[in-house]
């Protein structure tokens, strides 16, 4: 298993696997639609004070003030290493 990925490949993984799809459909992570925003249960602090910004494909927890990309979510929710999380996301890449 390769431990190095090109910056272009990582960019595609972070930006072309929509969090609005990934969290509820692939990771079965608790999400809800509230006030026009998709909110997720933060795996760091356990709060729902969060939102997904679909334009930059980042999740933001306003309680613990952290941003998360798709790789961060997979690593933490599935308890995978960085390389394994990237390989996992390859299967769900929207090219």
Tokens 């079965």 found at? 28
Residues with Cβ < 8 Å from 73, sequence gap 6 or more?
Answer: 19, 22, 23, 27, 29, 43, 59
95 residues of the chain, pLDDT tens digit each: 556 889 999 999 999 999 999 999 999 999 999 888 899 999 999 999 999 998 899 999 999 999 999 999 999 999 999 999 999 999 987 65
Domains in the chain (CATH in brackets) are 7-90 (3.90.580.10)
For 18, how many CA atoms within 13 A lie in the half-sphere containing its CB? 9
Distance separating alpha carbons of residues 39 and 20, to the nearest angstrom: 9
From the CA atom positions of the chain, what is the Rg in Å? Answer: 13
């Amino acid at each position: 298993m390769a431990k190095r990925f090109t910056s272009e490949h990582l960019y595609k993984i972070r930006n072309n696997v929509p969090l609005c799809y990934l969290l509820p459909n692939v990771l079965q992570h608790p999400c809800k639609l509230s006030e026009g925003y998709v909110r997720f249960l933060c795996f760091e602090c356990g709060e729902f004070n969060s939102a997904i910004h679909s334009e930059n494909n980042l999740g933001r927890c306003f309680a613990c003030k952290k941003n998360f990309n798709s790789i961060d979510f997979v690593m933490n929710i599935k308890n995978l290493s960085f390389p394994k999380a990237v390989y996992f996301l390859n299967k769900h890449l929207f090219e």
